[in-house]
Structure formats: C-alpha cells, structure tokens
Amino acid sequence: MTKTLGLIGTGMIGSTLARLAVAADLNVVLSNSRGPETLTDLVAELGDRARAATPAEAAQAGDLVVATIPLSAYTQLPAAQLAGKTVIDTLNYYPERDGHIAELDSNELTSSELVQRHLADSHVVKAFNNIDFGRLTTSARPAGAADRSALPIAGDDEAAKQQVAQLLDVLGYDAVDIGSLADSWRSAPNTPLYGHPYAPPQPEGMSLEEAMRWYLETPGPSVPADRVRELAAAAIRGTAGGILPSFTQD
C-alpha cells in the first residue's frame, strides 16, 4: 500500500496530486528542477505530511512516484533511483513545446514507451494525463459515490497497474485499464478521452479572460468507467502530439 507519494515535478498536476494525497492522509515528497528551496510555500500549505527534496531523493522516498514534467525533460528522470519502482507517467507530447521527436511523430512509439525505454528498470504506468488540474480537484469523490468519475490507466505490468488503481481509488477516482503502454495513445491529446469529457460546456459570448476564470471555477460532469471504456474504444490513432492547452497537464 502506498504511504508516501514521490513527485518529480510540482506544476499544476503535480501540486494538485500532492493536495489530494495529503487530504487522503498520504505523505508526499515534492521535487522540481529548481531545487527544494523553491517549494517552501507549497510545503507550508500542505503541512506536516509534506517535505521538499531533490528529484533523486523524491524517487528514493516514494512507495509510488509520479513523473509530471514536460516530455522534453524525460531523460532527466533519475533512472537509477527509480529502478524497481512503479512510476506514474502524466507526460503528454506537445511538439510546439517539446520539439519534434521522430519516434513519436512516426507513431513508432507512444510517449509512455519512450519514458519506459529511459526507465528500463522501472514499471511505467500512464495516468492523470487526460484531465486538467481544475477538474482533477473538483471531480474527486469517495468510493461508492453515484457521481464518481473514472480515469484511464495503461501499462505493461499488471501489478504496477493495480498499485496505481489503488492510488486512484484513495484519491477519489475509479480506474479503467485501457491496455499496454503501446495502447496509451488512446488517452493522449487529440483523442475523445483527452480533456473534453471532464469539462463543462462553455457558455457563449465570453472573453478569453472570462472564459479562463469560468473554466477554473466551474466543475465538470462525472465521467463513469463505462464512458471511459467507450471513449477509449472509439479512439482512432492519428498524428501524435497536440496543441499545448492554456492549462497544461505537465
């Protein structure tokens, strides 16, 4: 059972997962590329269950580790310290930010397979990549709630996927297994599962500023497990990558 969640990356998704984890009585070890001293405010907000560290220290400390950084930085993940660990990969491929990656542009690999190749001794599981940080907060529900949402997971190791599914349950979500890392494109940008199912319909006539404020403040609909399965099955693989959204996942 996960007692300590290590986080490599503390942007929008990373900090949201840290808040959900602390609310669920888990310990969190936070890290980013700028150094532990830059996380003082977040640690103070989270309280006694949180501490700041380097990425290597967060990797070593976590029973389960979340990698939530730009895909272009995936080679900076500390492979030695992550060996033998289950690593949750939230990374999405946005060529305008990450630059073009030949293996992804050709669909030779998915982004998660690329991460797994770097973390050869870890068990990579794709999760938390298809929902924005606002909905990740507001859609969380206790087990058994009628309006509980589900999130997709993908991976090559069944035990690792079970570990991630248990974490999702603790944080407020059901998990839907959509297959292997080779299948993880089914929740990537430009697929039916990415973003839109969790977002509320936007009223017309808003300015960009108004729309951004409304989006951040408005909860989305529940997306049950059967709907996640349906959308994953309906996905058609096209060109990899997507347009970087206003509120990035990484």
16: domain CATH number? 3.40.50.720
> In this structure, is residue 243 part of a structural domain?
no
pLDDT at 76 over 80: yes
pLDDT tens digit string along 167-198? 999 999 999 999 999 999 999 999 999 999 99
From 69, 90, 77, select the one nearest 118 (Cα to Cα): 77
Mean pLDDT computed over 15-44 = 97
**Entry pTM:** 0.93
> In this structure, is residue 245 part of a structural domain?
no
> In this structure, is residue 223 part of a structural domain?
yes
> In this structure, is residue 75 part of a structural domain?
yes
pLDDT at position 244 is 63
> In this structure, is residue 227 part of a structural domain?
yes
pLDDT at position 246 is 53
pLDDT at position 249 is 44
Mean pLDDT computed over 42-70 = 97
Contact indicator for 112, 181 with CB cutoff of 8 Å: yes
pLDDT at 247 over 80: no
> In this structure, is residue 123 part of a structural domain?
yes
pLDDT at position 245 is 65
> In this structure, is residue 40 part of a structural domain?
yes
Query: What's the pLDDT band for 216 if we cut at 50, 70, 90?
Result: confident
Q: What is the mean pLDDT of the chain?
A: 94
- The domain total for the chain is 1
pLDDT at 45 over 80: yes
Mean pLDDT computed over 41-66 = 97
> In this structure, is residue 246 part of a structural domain?
no
The residue that leads in pLDDT, 246 or 59, is 59
Q: What is the residue range of 86's domain?
A: 4-234
Look-up of token digits 């990656």: 101
- Per cent of the chain over pLDDT 90 is 86
